[in-house]
Chain A
Amino acid sequence: MKSGSNLEKVLRAGHFAFTGELGPPRGTTAEEIVEKCEHLKGMVDAVNITDNQTAVVRMASWAACLILIQEGLEPNFQMVCRDRNRLAMQADILGAYTHGVRNMLCLTGDHCMFGDHPDAMGVFDIDSIQLINMVKTMRDEGKFQTGADIEDPPKIFIGAAANPFAEPYEWRVHRLDKKIEAGVDFIQTQCIYNMDRFRKWIEQANDMGLTEKVYILAGVTPMKNVGMARYMQKKVPGIEVPEDLIDRLKGVGKKQVAEEGIKIACEQVEEFKEMKGVHGVHMMAIEWEHKVPQIAEQAKVLPRPQID
């Protein structure tokens, strides 16, 4: 075991992992997190806690992680390179680990201009692949970046993102390979809507033997309505929403669109379960945490495995 996190145990035991996501509040209302937690308990193996998502200030990811731990859920601490230099990153990793955080997702982070402080300096002291390697060095060698020893090194299960839908497509598996070389343990992909493109990507990853070196969790976000689908299609960089998906949502009555969105997501999960090289699903039900029990039920991923 690298970290002994629940997520690591589930994946190691060969189970199909199922993770969730939760955005911290834009304030100090802990109840908001606690309430979201209620919906996720028993439904997922770990919960990603976003880090100033889309460059908008929120409660610190590590702080929200602690609330999850108190609530009996396992957090996946997201960390972006935009807001901290290597000192702050290593310090946060030590602190979060000390309080029981065992999973991390290493991300580049959206550019500041997307967020609520567009004129802030983007730090980007190191990039996401270098961050992966930094966490690995801390864990496996027990060393800081300068080479100094760490007392009781943090044992973190190291995650990263992958986006099969950003160009150049043929480069995406090589980028995955670089993350593996840097030391990543698991991958959570960008929201998948174009299944054809994803199948090609995973096939390439299989052919290169990458899916034997890293756990891949396919990213799924159910569409709540047609407007959301259009927004994702037009406005969110790196997300590809095929027109026929939008047609399918339009094809049902207005009141059934949300249900149809969930149905599509569950069909995706069914396919991922059978897909070679996919080891689980990362369900990003954005501001829709209360729907996760229904989605988990419908996607037939319950009960979640209990491993000691």
Chain B
Amino acid sequence: MIVAERKPFEEIKEMLKGYKKVLSVGCGTCVAVCLTGGEKEVAVLNAELDMARKLEEDPIELGAATIERQCDREYLEVLDEMVKPYEALLSMACGAGIQFLAERYPDKPVLPAVDTTFIGVNQDVGWYEERCRSCSACVLAWTGGICPVTMCAKGLYNGPCGGTDQGKCEISQDQPCAWFEIYGRLAGQDRLDLIKRFYAIVPWKNQKPRTLIQPGYKKPEQAK
């Protein structure tokens, strides 16, 4: 899932300076699961903003709407009427959702209430860890299911570097060395041959905006 973190309250408050009527828009998918931007988080943020602005003798009228997904036109549609009376929209979706919202309502300022952080896993309630950088060229087949691009602090394709320290990364004792783990897992599977060869320079595929059209489907404008 996509994991996001709520922005510091001060930053959000600063963004909303001057606005008197704002709609907070939550997203019911990834950011709701990671407890950052779902219905409940919208309610907490609105309560905070309401109180803070009253304390400053500058009240703000806040609306709340949480839709299933902000990255999907189908779900955005329900907002079309709702957004009209508001001066600005405060989105609690990931960066993709925020942009899709802004794209749909180009005359409204759309402001981010969260920082999109990573694609990760749920280790426990409220505890998430990054696992994927969406590099568009997955190498997990030969790295024992451990991603060197994401989990190695230097993204090395031929690791481990000389900084590995008793299985930990040089950046922190809390960070396992990805290549130490790759070695360990492949050794356990008797597949070390996979990393004995030198892996050549990578043609990066994530240096420009990417589009995916599945076979048999067309871009929306082509489909019309």
Chain A positions within 8 Å of B, measured between CB atoms, are 81-82, 86, 108-111, 113-114, 122, 124-130, 133-134, 145, 161-163, 166-168, 171, 174-175, 177-179, 181-182, 190, 237-238
Instruction: Provide 22 A-B residue pairs closer than 8 Å at the C-beta atoms, listed in order of the A residue.
Output: A86-B201, A108-B163, A111-B171, A113-B171, A124-B156, A126-B202, A127-B158, A127-B159, A127-B161, A130-B157, A130-B198, A145-B201, A161-B162, A166-B165, A167-B167, A168-B180, A168-B183, A171-B160, A174-B192, A175-B158, A175-B160, A177-B196
- Check B170–A238 contact: CB distance below 8 A: yes
Residue contact B153 to A168, C-beta cutoff 8 Å: no
| Beyond A111-B154, A122-B154, 10 extra complex contacts between A and B, CB < 8 Å | A111-B170, A111-B171, A122-B153, A127-B157, A129-B158, A130-B199, A133-B201, A162-B162, A174-B196, A237-B162
Does the CB pair A237–B197 fall under 8 Å? no
CB–CB A167/B166 < 8 A: yes
Main secondary structure on B side of the interface with A = loop
Contact partner of A110 (CB less than 8 A), chosen from B157, B163, B187, B196, is: B163
* C-alpha spacing A161/B160, complex, angstroms: 13
List, in ascending order, chain B residues with CB within 8 A of A128's CB: 158, 161
Picked from B164, B180, B187, B200, the residue with its CB within 8 Å of the CB of A237 is B164
CB pair A166 B201 closer than 8 Å: no
Interface residues on B, range: 20 to 34
Q: How far is the CB of A79 from chain B (nearest CB, A)?
A: 15
Measured in the bound complex, the distance between the Cα atoms of B171 and A82 in whole Å is 14
A164 closest partner in B (C-beta) = B162
Across the interface, which residues of A come within 8 angstroms of B161, CB to CB? 108, 127-128, 166
Assess the A166–B163 pair: CB atoms within 8 A: yes
| Chain B, residue nearest A178 (CB) | B198
**B184 part of interface (Cβ distance < 8 Å):** yes
Query: Is there an interface contact between A178 and B155, defined as CB atoms closer than 8 Å?
Result: no
| A109 to B170 CA separation, bound complex (whole angstroms) | 11
Judging by beta carbons under 8 Å apart, are B154 and A130 in contact?
no
- Give the distance in Å from the alpha carbon of A171 to the alpha carbon of B194 in the complex: 13
Considering the complex, give the chain B residue whose CB is closest to the CB of A177.
B196
Q: Which residues from A are CB-within-8-Å of B153?
A: 111, 122
Chain A residues near B165 (CB, 8 Å)? 166-167, 237-238
Question: Please, which residues of chain A bring their CB within 8 A of the CB of B198?
Answer: 129-130, 133, 178-179, 181-182
Q: Quick one: which of B162, B202, B204 contacts A108, CB cutoff 8 A?
A: B162
Bound CA–CA A179/B158 (angstroms): 10
Chain A residue at minimum C-beta to C-beta distance from B164: A166
Nearest neighbor of A165 in chain B, beta-carbon distance:
B162
- B162: which of A124, A126, A145, A190 is its contact (CB, 8 Å)? A190
Whether A166 lies near B162 (C-beta < 8 A) is: yes
Residues of A within 8 A of B160 (CB): 166, 168, 171, 175
| With A82-B154, A111-B154: A133-B200 Cβ-Cβ less than 8 Å | yes
A167 B164 Cβ-Cβ under 8 A: yes
- Residue of A86, A128, A171, A178 ringed by the most chain B CB atoms within 10 A: A171
Shortest A86–chain B CB gap in Å is: 7
Quick one: which of B162, B200, B202, B204 has the most chain A CB within 10 A?
A: B162
Contact A130 B180, CB 8 Å, known A166-B163, A166-B165, A167-B167 = no
Residues of B within 8 A of A178 (CB): 158, 196-198
Q: Distance (Å) between the CB of A186 and the closest chain B CB?
A: 16
Assembly CA distance A149 to B200 (angstroms): 19
Query: In the complex, which of the residues B156, B163, B197 contacts A127, with contact meaning CB atoms closer than 8 Å?
Result: B156
Given the known interface contacts A122-B154, A124-B155, the answer about A238 and B164 at a Cβ–Cβ threshold of 8 Å is yes
| Assembled-state Cα–Cα distance A182/B157 (Å) | 13
Counting chain A CB atoms within 10 Å of each CB, the highest count among B158, B166, B170, B171 belongs to B158
Which of A81, A110, A125, A167 is within 8 Å of B170, CB to CB?
A110
**Which residues of chain A come closer than 8 Å to B167, judged between CB atoms?**
167
CA distance A134 to B159 in the complex (A): 17
CA distance A125 to B20 in the complex (A): 46
Within B135-166, the residues touching A (CB, 8 Å) are 153-166
Partner of A130, one of B158, B163, B196: B158
Q: Is the CB of A171 within 8 A of B200?
A: no
Closest 8 CB pairs of A and B: A163-B162, A129-B158, A237-B170, A237-B163, A127-B156, A108-B161, A237-B165, A178-B198
Contacts of A124 in B (CB 8 A): 154-156
Nearest-neighbour CB distance to chain B for A188, whole angstroms, equals 11
Find chain A residues with CB under 8 A from B159 CB: 127
Shortest Cβ gap from A131 to chain B (Å): 9
Shortest C-beta distance, B157 to chain A (Å), equals 6
